[in-house]
């Protein structure tokens, strides 16, 4: 068995207070981790929408296989901007990039999803009342597929905004504590 070397003048029980990180930094690190995970899911959703639009516009497959995109999908492509801003804000705790990311997430992520829900509602209503679908994505009703993507996207963006707000509060408090000293 190996034996541990102790510092002179220590009985070995004083390591706990020395090994702690400040709770403020622990919270910042865990919130950054959550925002990174949500950014990854956001990127996957964005890639799905971009792939559907690319395949549709360049006629890579027939319109019977992948339908033309809905109008809300075009402004949703701009949701890559809040993703980039939040990714740039995390390494150096840049408050201004994080605020810009939160504002642009509302404009380019949440607003197109709200518009899309309203745009597709009559089509969804017709599908579920009469069983008629006119747009398809790989044999499934396009409105159903896009509503499923929208449900996941709304949750991702809501959690992103929540964690970014908590992270912003954490960074702002840390900045205020440094100014007090």
Sorting pLDDT into bands at 50, 70 and 90, what band is 136?
confident
Three-class secondary structure assignment of the chain: CCCCCCCCCCCCCCHHHHCCCCHHHHHHHHHHHHHHHHHHHHHHHHHHHHHHHHHHHCCCCCCCCECCCCCCHHHHHHHHHHHHHHHHHHHHCCHHHHHHHHHHHHHHHHHHHHHHHHHHHHHHHHHHHHCCCCCEECCEEHHHHHHHHHHHHHHHHHHHHHHHHHHHHHHHHHHHHHHHC
Over residues 132-160, mean pLDDT: 92
pTM of the full structure: 0.82
pLDDT at 6 over 90: no
pLDDT of residue 3: 60
């Amino acid at each position: 068995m190996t034996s541990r070397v102790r510092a002179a003048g220590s009985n070995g029980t004083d390591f706990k207070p020395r090994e702690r990180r400040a709770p403020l930094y622990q919270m910042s690190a865990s919130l950054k981790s959550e925002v990174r995970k949500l950014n990854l899911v956001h990127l996957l959703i964005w890639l799905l929408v971009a792939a559907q639009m690319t395949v549709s516009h360049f006629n890579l497959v027939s319109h019977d296989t992948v339908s033309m995109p809905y109008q809300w999908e075009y402004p949703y492509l701009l949701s890559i901007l809040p993703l980039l801003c939040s990714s740039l804000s995390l390494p150096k705790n840049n408050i201004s990039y994080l605020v810009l990311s939160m504002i642009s997430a509302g404009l380019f992520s949440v607003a197109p999803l709200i518009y899309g829900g309203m745009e597709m509602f009559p089509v969804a209503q017709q599908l579920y009342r009469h069983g008629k679908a006119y747009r398809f994505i790989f044999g499934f009703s396009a409105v159903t597929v896009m509503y499923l993507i929208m449900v996941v996207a709304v949750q991702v963006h809501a959690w992103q905004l929540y964690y970014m707000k908590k992270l912003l509060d954490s960074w702002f408090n840390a900045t205020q504590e440094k100014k007090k000293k």
